[in-house]
Amino acid sequence: MTARGVFYVHSAPPALSPHIEWAAAGVVGVPVSLEWADQPAAPGTLRAELHWEGRPGTAAGITSALRNWKLLRFEVTEDPTPGCDGVRYSFTPSLGVFTGVIGANGDIMIPEDRLRAVMANAAVGKTTLEHELDRLLGTPWDNELEPFRRAGDGAPVRWLHAAV
């Protein structure tokens, strides 16, 4: 079974670009060569985008390989496959990793147990329901990444096919 997705590097210091390619290649199992461009939303950094095909779980593997690199902003998506939901991972240095299960229509699906925990914490005053729902929907990550996403509009697209 083959999964598809997109790996967006929204901002990275130029010195990290070969290391990012190497880390992604280690996950997808084939050499990765990204087309790097200046990131106008963060002068002095680069951005890149890669459409990939590989085994289900590739997005999680890429995220795991890069999640401790505190100078990056990135997102990895994986389309649904039979038996697997779609997923989006977002990472920012200030917020860490957000994981959202994506439904067929593109909406984030929040698991029941997470909703129940949020409601319980809000009921005892540990947090507000609005704040926690925003976090479950990834709103803080979207707010931080949106300027970087817009700066990448019209960027060239590359496809990478892994040996499955």
Pairing of strands 46-54, 3-12: antiparallel
In this predicted structure, what is the pLDDT of residue 111? 92
pTM of the model: 0.88
In this predicted structure, what is the pLDDT of residue 67? 96
Q: How far is CA 162 from the centre of its chain?
A: 19
Do residues 27 and 60 make contact, with C-beta atoms less than 8 angstroms apart?
Answer: no
Q: How far is CA 52 from the centre of its chain?
A: 13
The C-alpha atoms of residue 116 and residue 114 are separated, in whole angstroms, by 5
In this predicted structure, what is the pLDDT of residue 86? 94
Which residues 6+ apart lie within 8 Å of 114 measured at CB? 136
In this predicted structure, what is the pLDDT of residue 159? 47
The terminus-to-terminus CA distance of the chain in angstroms comes to 8
109: helix, strand or coil: strand
Half-sphere exposure of 143 (CA within 13 A, CB side): 8
Instruction: Please give the structure tokens belonging to residue 140.
Output: 């803080």
In this predicted structure, what is the pLDDT of residue 157? 46
The C-alpha atoms of residue 155 and residue 98 are separated, in whole angstroms, by 24
The C-alpha atoms of residue 163 and residue 53 are separated, in whole angstroms, by 9
In DSSP notation, 10-63 reads EEE-GGGHHHHHHHHHHHHSS------EE-TTSTT-EEEEEEEEESTTHHHHHH
77: helix, strand or coil: strand
The residues of the chain scoring below 70 in pLDDT are 152-164
